[in-house]
Copies of this chain bind each other. A is one copy, B any other.
Amino acid sequence: MYVVKSPLSDENMWTVSEALQGALVDLVDLALVAKQIHWNVVGQRFRSVHLQLDEVVSLARAHSDTVAERAAALGVSPDGRAATVAVGSGIGVTPEGWVDDTTAVGTLVEALGAVITRMRERVAATDEPDPVSQDILITITADLEKQHWMFQAENG
């Protein structure tokens, strides 16, 4: 049976792996949600919103990869399958069909806000058990909060 030699104690391991798995699910869903609205947005700000959403997609995809590989590096199998994401994501239900641009921006503000709240809890939770994982989560939070500002300013 394959076992990675982990640099963490069992207890710390449990805390950190929960934080990383949670972050993975949130980030995979964020990418899917942003793409969904990228395709369905309509209205006068169509092009601006369409383009900005692809920046969120790129960012969420890159960070989900980092988080999953960090889990693997600690010996924890990451789970980013569709069913797992559909059930465990911290983001609320995304509206079906076309969305006007103001709603589109609002949806992203909501989604990013929900993920940020959970990310900040993960930053706090991993501080003691593993500063290396925490550092990765801090970088992700900074990026998400920057996007959060930009979407709020867009509807400001």
Contact = CB atoms under 8 A, between A and B. Distances in A.
Interface of A: 2, 4-5, 7, 28-29, 32-33, 35-36, 39-52, 65, 68-75, 77-83, 85-86, 89, 94, 96-98, 100, 109, 113, 116-117, 120, 123, 127, 131-132, 134-136, 138-139, 141-142, 145-146, 148-150, 152-156
A125 to B, nearest CB: 12
| Secondary structure class of chain A's binding surface, majority of residues | helix
B5 A72 contact: no
A28 B32 contact: yes
B82 A89 contact: yes
A79 B36 contact: yes
